[in-house]
A and B are shown apart, each in its own frame.
Chain A
Amino acid sequence: MLAEFPKAAFTAEAIKRAAYVFMDRADISLQATESQWQCMITARAGQSFTVEQLAEAFRREVLDQDLRLTIEAKTEATRTAILGLAFSRTGLQGE
């Protein structure tokens, strides 16, 4: 089954992460057209979901990954600052 995501809205990173999460349930092959990411979803043998259910869950996972990437970008500098502060006083860092 084919699931499409507009390139203008989603990064390849979000789709690749979602495909990774789905490796236990589905094989997902990714192709790019001019404007779309095209994901061919094939259910893996021996699992109980229909391919429609898998596609729906995959869309949700892509949305989640997209939001995660947005949050990561917004909070990257603060995360580095917190880790820097935390490690600077544990004695765990090298000289």
Chain B
Amino acid sequence: MSRFQQLAEFERPLAAGYELLPFHFTALDDDNYVATNVAGEFVVLTRPDLEAFSSQSLPHTSALYDELKSKHFLIDSDSDVAIDLLALKLRTKLAPLANFTGLHMFVATLRCEHSCPYCQVSRANDDRTEFDMSEATALKALDLVFRSPNPAIKVEFQGGEPLLNFPLVRFVVEEAKRRNEAERRNLAFVIATNLAVIDDEILDFCRTHAILISTSLDGPADLHNKNRPRPGHDSHARAVAGIHACRSALGRDQVAALMTTTAGSLGRVREIIDEYVSLDFDGIFLRPLSPYGFAMKTKFYRGYDQARWLDFYFEGLDYIIDLNLSGFWFIEHYAALILRKMLTPFQPGYVDLISPAGIGIGAIAYNYDGDVYASDESRMLAEMGDKTFCLGNVHTHSFEDIFLGDALLGPLEASFAGSAPMCSWCAFEPYCGADPVFHHATQADFVGKKPLSAYCNRNMAIFRGLIQRMRSNPDVRAVFERWANLG
């Protein structure tokens, strides 16, 4: 008797045909559709193939059948473990949610010696301490930090310019570390600073406590200085000097930079990227225009600007892809986050691209006065007069009031993408988020009408753009695979 079945055994039509597993589809272009399953695996197929597959008449001998089967879009008599596998993959993606809030932002002060026009929160007057967080407020906020069950806690100092209240930063770091001797969490600290006032004492402290520096770099000097006015008009020079000083004191990888995109950035993406390359960063986050602060104030945020931003983004992305194809390793971080969702079983914890929304459960902000906000954007909105996402105050509300109250759970539940109109049938939903703060700010509605949403429009264009690029060039796919697996 033969050890193996005859070849014909594998070629015979499967007696019971196949069953569809749940999937969604969305047009990729005029001829093709993207289909995704619940775990976010995707397939690109033509309309006739989509119809044949959906009507369960796709021949089992076709290459597409094999692809759909291996990616868990169908189940046949030969593949009965697909449901368990899909559940396992989905669970892997959902697992970070169970950890609850990991990122805790402390607004050490609203004072700042810069006067950036897009910034709603800072107070130019930098010698008044009424906008500083007190130690009493910080202690109450730390009580909440350690109530979070997350085994990895990141405390990020924000402002204004947090280094103008360095004594409070020092106090929080030392107190958090003291408490952590019993708590034994994986505790990390970040200071978000423009670096203008950093000095040796601060650098020594950062080195001792392995504190990460996150700074702002908007591009070449003229653009950066225009975005970030300060006495002396030397914001860029100070940022660059600060980056070098931090790297030599703390190590190259301890310094990250973020850009703010303004109207002045839009025609200059290559110069902005070149600035990051010349300063030896290994990537850039081409950030969207923010609807908060500057954009609202200057009426800059319109659909027209969104279209220009997409041109800016894709020109930058293609430029970065070309750098990689020519052998120079450089990452676009927003694409990398999405590609991690598309090409790996993992879910990056980026607050804007999570559903249920990342507000509150992904990140939380403690304002200088003890008010607790569901995200950094929420407190910006509050500075503009809208306190919808203020969850309470550390002095008057308990952990349960803040994290289980309607102010947080209401928008979380309402905006869940799995049940929102359009998102609930969108193929890109596994890669997308909910962002109730954005939709509240722009449409006065936590869910938002997605056909009118700049958030939806932008993300859908990027999802399509990434899939099209990796389909059309296997070398680009290889670059994307590397970005996705950075972790």
Contact = CB atoms under 8 A, between A and B. Distances in A.
Q: Please determine whether chains A and B interact with each other in the same assembly.
A: yes
Interface of A: 17, 20-25, 64-65, 67-68, 70-72, 74-76, 78-79, 81-83, 85-87, 89-92
B78 interface: no
B422 A20 contact: yes
A79 B22 contact: yes
Q: Is the interface of A mostly helix, strand, loop or mixed?
A: helix
A90 B83 contact: no
Contacts of A79: 22, 38
Q: Is the interface of B mostly helix, strand, loop or mixed?
A: helix
B79 to A, nearest CB: 13
Contacts of A82: 22, 38, 83, 86-87, 90
B50 A21 contact: no
A92 B86 CA distance: 18
Closest 8 CB pairs of A and B: A85-B87, A75-B22, A79-B22, A86-B90, A24-B451, A86-B87, A86-B91, A23-B451
Interface in B245-269: none
A21 to B, nearest CB: 6
A16 B451 CA distance: 14
B187 interface: no
A90 B94 contact: yes
B19 interface: yes
B422 A71 contact: no
Interface stretch (B23-31, B166-174, B176-184, B327-335): B23-31
Contacts of A24: 451-452
Nearest to A85: B87
B90 A21 contact: no
Nearest to B86: A82
B451 A20 contact: yes
B54 interface: yes
Interface string B392-435: 00000000000000000000000000000110010000000000
16 contacts: A20-B422, A22-B451, A23-B451, A24-B452, A64-B27, A67-B50, A67-B54, A71-B22, A74-B19, A75-B20, A75-B21, A75-B22, A78-B19, A81-B87, A83-B38, A87-B94
Contacts of B425: 17, 65, 68, 72
Nearest to A16: B421
Interface string B76-108: 000000011011101100110110000000000
Contact of A86 (B23, B27, B94, B451): B94
B90 A83 contact: yes
A46 B89 CA distance: 44
B449 interface: yes
B24 A23 contact: no
A74 B23 CA distance: 11
B451 A75 contact: no
Interface string B419-463: 001100100000000000000000000000101100000000000
Nearest to A84: B87
B222 interface: no
B51 interface: yes
Residue among B22, B24, B97 with the highest chain A CB neighbour number at 10 A: B22
Contacts of B86: 82, 86
Nearest to A61: B27
Contact of A75 (B23, B25, B84, B421): B23
B20 A71 contact: yes
B90 A92 contact: no
Given A23-B452, A24-B452, A79-B22, A90 B98 contact: yes
Contacts of A23: 449, 451-452
Contacts of A25: 451
Nearest to A70: B54
B98 to A, nearest CB: 5
A81 B83 contact: yes
A21 B422 contact: yes
A53 to B, nearest CB: 12
A89 B24 CA distance: 24
A25 B98 CA distance: 40
A26 B197 CA distance: 53
Contacts of A91: 98
Contacts of A74: 19-20
A85 B87 CA distance: 6
B84 A78 contact: no
A71 B27 CA distance: 16
B308 to A, nearest CB: 16
Contacts of B84: 85
A20 B19 CA distance: 30
Given A21-B422, A90-B94, A71 B23 contact: yes
Given A75-B20, A85-B87, A86-B87, A92 B452 contact: no
Residue among A17, A64, A82 with the highest chain B CB neighbour number at 10 A: A82
Contacts of A76: 22
A78 B425 CA distance: 16
B83 A85 contact: yes
Contact of A92 (B19, B51, B94): B94
Interface in B35-89: 38, 50-51, 54, 83-84, 86-88
